[in-house]
Every structure is written in structure tokens, then in C-alpha cells.
Amino acid sequence: MDAPVPDRRQTAAAASLPVVGIDHLTGLADRGGFMAVLEETLALRGSEEPLLLLLDLDRFKAVNDAYGHPVGDALLVSAGGRIRAALRQGDVVGRIGGDEFAVLLRPSATVQETRRIAERLVDLLGRPFLVEGRVAQVGASVGVARATEGVCSSAQLIKRADLALYAAKARGRGRVADFEPALEQAAEEHMALETELRAALPLGQFELHYQPLLDLRSQKVIGFEALLRWRHPKRGMIAPGRILPLAEEINLMPAIGAWVLRQACRDAMTWPEGMRVSVNAAPSQLVGCGLPKIVRAALAESGLPGARLEIEVTEHALIDALARGVPAQFSALAAMGVDVALDDFGSGYASLAQLGNFRFQRMKIDRSFATDARMLDAAVGVGRALGLHTTAEGIEDAAQLDAAISHGCEVGQGFLIGRPMAPAAMREFLAERTRR
């Protein structure tokens, strides 16, 4: 049973806070009241090193969305009671945001005691809540920071605890993480890269490299996949794995994705007649119904026929966008003659039922299947049953190439066939294959 939340007047007295510093919902200190105690503690700490714990509920929004705000509010009250139950006399707890709580451990706790308290909080908040007649399962992550020498302000300590909390969530949620200087360095690096990424498109620092697609029957190159690269003036060439997650995080992918489409279509118009270009669609480009409009504009501007363009969508992006009008977008693309390919098949969680509901023309089999004959055969069978063309990704040696051919894959892609190349190198690659 959840521990009762202390009376508001008792909480105020224990924390030496005025009544105005109390959260009206939970009876804990509110953000202003908690910060006042934290600042006073730092100012008067002497030789002590106060410890700050930041925590939030991992799946609270899902409870609010499913059951409504009254149930969410009741859950916050119960969560506040469980947090109080895990603390010692003299510790201070506050609700400093929607589902965010802060705990100040004083007098200074040992490392072992701090870890015990933090893990106890994770355990208590991970247990089911019975609120308003409903069972709700959430969970919590905890970030821990100590006010060591050099940390003299509440803002510094909050920042460190927040970085630790972010690290805990990144490790899988339901975790405890301590602040480490490397977290601060990584955050500063992240912020610097974000600032530079925002300027990369207007400064013309992006470019496309192209990886060949080989028809496995004729052994002829039939097209290329466009792959984004960032030529940074100081950091050198930066690959998509570092660009795309950050661009999605700061909502730059719609603009970058539109640029990629336009540039890929323009480049493809300089290739031999009939050669196709394949372009990846980012998850954010599937939100709403804007993708067909962007594709239509890129085709019109370049003069590229729709039949020479293929849009690739990963399983992960597909699942994230299931309720966002994706089928209608795919139908609109098909009306322009543009094919849609399911990329990295086998790496995500798309079900066969979901695949059947979408209008794909091609399945790109994930590279993890390239060394497993049984899985490759099964994937090709799925594609054949759904009437899809198949491309084997990740072909890096002759044995994998032979396997892709023997199992009936139509197209191959991988380092054995050709690595991603800048446009000039791509033209040399085509000329060399023509001379053979």
C-alpha cells in the first residue's frame, strides 16, 4: 500500500519552508521552495558535500493519455508518498516539474547510502500503483550529483544531476547513474555539434555519396542509393550515423531531407538513361502528408521521371508513423510512378499484417541476414509471397554474393559491389564497368 503523503504544514515545517513553497498537489516542496533550501544548504555547507538526486517517472505520459489527468494527478500524489517513505529524517524532497522530483540528502550521505536510497526509489516507483480504481505501471530513473569543490551554485548542481538522469535513461530507464565529468564534456560537445549542424545546410556543407545497386541476374549496375555526408570544415567527413539522430532531435530533418531529394534527383538526371536513384525518407518526413508534395517538387524541378526514383523507409520509421496517414502517402507516390522500398527488413518489428497494409514495391533485406542462409531464404520467401522485388544488403564477399543469387535476390548492394562514392568517383566507377 502506498505511504500517505505528509500534511502540507508538516512538510513545510520539516523543510523550514513557507507555505507558499509547497506544491499544491503532492504536499511536497514546490520548485521555488526546494531551490531555496538547496541554495541555503550550499551556502552553509561547510565541509559537507550535499547530494542531489533528480528523478522522473518513465512512463507517466502514457498513464495520463490512457486514463486522464485525474488519475495522473493521483499517481503523482502516490509517487510523492513513496519517495518520502524511502528517505531519512532531514532529507528534503520536492516536485520540481510535471513528473519530476528532486531529493536533497543532508547531512551528507555516504556513497553506499546514496546508492541504496537511489535504488530503493527505483524499486518503489517501479511497483504497480493502484489509483482511482486503476492499476498503473510506471517506473523511474535517477541521476545523482554531489556538490564537490568547485560546485558552488544550485544551477551547477541541478545541471550535473540532470546530465546523470539523462545518462540513466539512455542506459535503458529504471536505472541509477552518477554524474561524471565526461557527461558534461559530452553535453558541451553535443551542443557545439548541434550549433554547427544548424549552419551546415545554409553553408553548403552537405553532399551526397552514392552506393551502386547491382542487378544480380545481368550483373549490371541499375542505380545508386543516395547517402548523406557532412563535410565539416574542422571535423572532416561526418557519416549519417552521427548526423541523422541529431538532425531528427532538433527538427532539421524535414529541411535536410528535402535538400537530399532535390539534389539526388538533379544528380540522377546526369546519369545514363534509365538508371534509378534511391533516397531514404526520415521518420519526420512521414509525419503529416508532406512527403508526396516534396517528391513532386523535386521531380518537377529536376525533370527526373518518377519511375527513376525510389523512396526507402525503414521498419522503425514505418512503425513510428503507423497512425500518420502513411498508406495514403505511399499511394500518392505510386501515382507519380515512384516506388517505395521497405529498408532494413528484419532489423525492426514490423509484422506481416502491417507489411500487407502498405504499398511497397521492394524489400531490402537487412545485412544481418547476409551470412545466414536460412534467414535469407525466409526473407526472400516473404518478399515473393507479398509480390515484392528483393534487394540483399551488406554483400561484402563472394560467398555472400553467391548466396544472394542462389536464394533468388534480384538486386545486391554492399562493399563487394561498391562503396559509397562522391559523384566524380561514381562516374569513374561507371566508366570502368562499361570498359569491362
Q: What is the pLDDT of residue 352?
A: 64
Q: What is the pLDDT of residue 66?
A: 86
Over range 279-307, report the average pLDDT: 89
Going by their DSSP bridges, the two strands 206-215 and 220-232 should be labelled as antiparallel
In a domain, 96, yes or no: yes
Query: Where among 118, 153, 179 does a domain terminate?
Result: 179
Over range 319-326, report the average pLDDT: 59
Query: Where among 153, 179, 205 does a domain terminate?
Result: 179
Same domain, 198 and 175: no
Instruction: Please report, for the domain that includes residue 392, its CATH number.
Output: 3.20.20.450
Same domain, 169 and 20: yes
Q: Are 426 and 210 in contact (CB under 8 A)?
A: yes
Same domain, 168 and 213: no
Please tell me whether the overall predicted TM-score, pTM, comes out greater than 0.75 for this model: no
Query: Where among 136, 154, 179 does a domain terminate?
Result: 179
Query: How many domains, in total, are found in the chain?
Result: 2
Distance CA 88, CA 209 (A): 59
Instruction: Please report, for the domain that includes residue 60, its CATH number.
Output: 3.30.70.270
Q: Are 365 and 346 in contact (CB under 8 A)?
A: yes
Over range 21-34, report the average pLDDT: 91
Residues 6+ apart with CB under 8 A from 412: 213, 214, 216, 391, 392, 395, 401, 404, 405
In a domain, 207, yes or no: yes
pLDDT digits (tens, 9 = 90+) for 179-203: 988 888 888 888 888 999 999 999 9
Over range 111-140, report the average pLDDT: 90
Same domain, 330 and 412: yes
In a domain, 2, yes or no: no
Q: What is the pLDDT of residue 53?
A: 94
The larger pLDDT score, comparing residue 436 to residue 333, is at: 333
Residue 140, beta-bridge partner list: 57
Over range 78-87, report the average pLDDT: 93
Domain that holds residue 341: 191-435
Same domain, 29 and 151: yes
Residue 413, beta-bridge partner list: none
Instruction: Burial-class residue 204 by CB neighbours within 10 Å (0-12, 13-18, 19+).
Output: exposed
Query: In this prediction, what percent of the chain has a pLDDT beyond 90?
Result: 50
Same domain, 211 and 283: yes
Residues of 215-249 as b/e, b for ≥16 C-beta within 10 angstroms? Answer: ebeeeebebbbbbbbbeeeeeeebeeeebbeebbe
Same domain, 351 and 401: yes
The larger pLDDT score, comparing residue 44 to residue 365, is at: 365
pLDDT range class, residue 15, cuts 50, 70, 90: very low
Cell numbers standing for residue 161:
544531476
Q: What is the pLDDT of residue 125?
A: 94
pLDDT range class, residue 107, cuts 50, 70, 90: low
Alpha-carbon distances, residue 42 vs 107, 153, 180, 194, 222 (angstroms):
12, 7, 20, 33, 67
In a domain, 88, yes or no: yes
Q: What is the pLDDT of residue 306?
A: 96
Over range 98-106, report the average pLDDT: 91
Residue 339, beta-bridge partner list: 310
Same domain, 362 and 423: yes
pLDDT digits (tens, 9 = 90+) for 144-174: 998 876 666 888 899 999 999 999 988 888 8
pLDDT digits (tens, 9 = 90+) for 46-57: 667 788 999 999
Same domain, 16 and 58: yes
Q: Identify which of 1-5, 32-36, 41-45, 280-284 has the greatest average pLDDT.
A: 32-36
Same domain, 131 and 279: no
Cell numbers standing for residue 262:
532535390
Q: What is the pLDDT of residue 6?
A: 43
pLDDT digits (tens, 9 = 90+) for 231-272: 999 889 988 888 888 898 888 999 999 999 999 999 999 999
Q: What is the pLDDT of residue 14?
A: 41
Q: What is the pLDDT of residue 108?
A: 65
What's the first-to-final CA gap in the chain, in angstroms?
A: 77
In a domain, 67, yes or no: yes
In a domain, 184, yes or no: no
In 10 A of CB 274, how many CB atoms?
Answer: 10
Same domain, 419 and 275: yes
Average pLDDT of the chain? 86
Same domain, 280 and 425: yes
* Helix segments in 30-149, DSSP class H: 31-43, 60-67, 69-86, 111-126
The larger pLDDT score, comparing residue 64 to residue 214, is at: 214
In a domain, 1, yes or no: no
DSSP state of 361: S
Residue 208, beta-bridge partner list: 228
In a domain, 186, yes or no: no
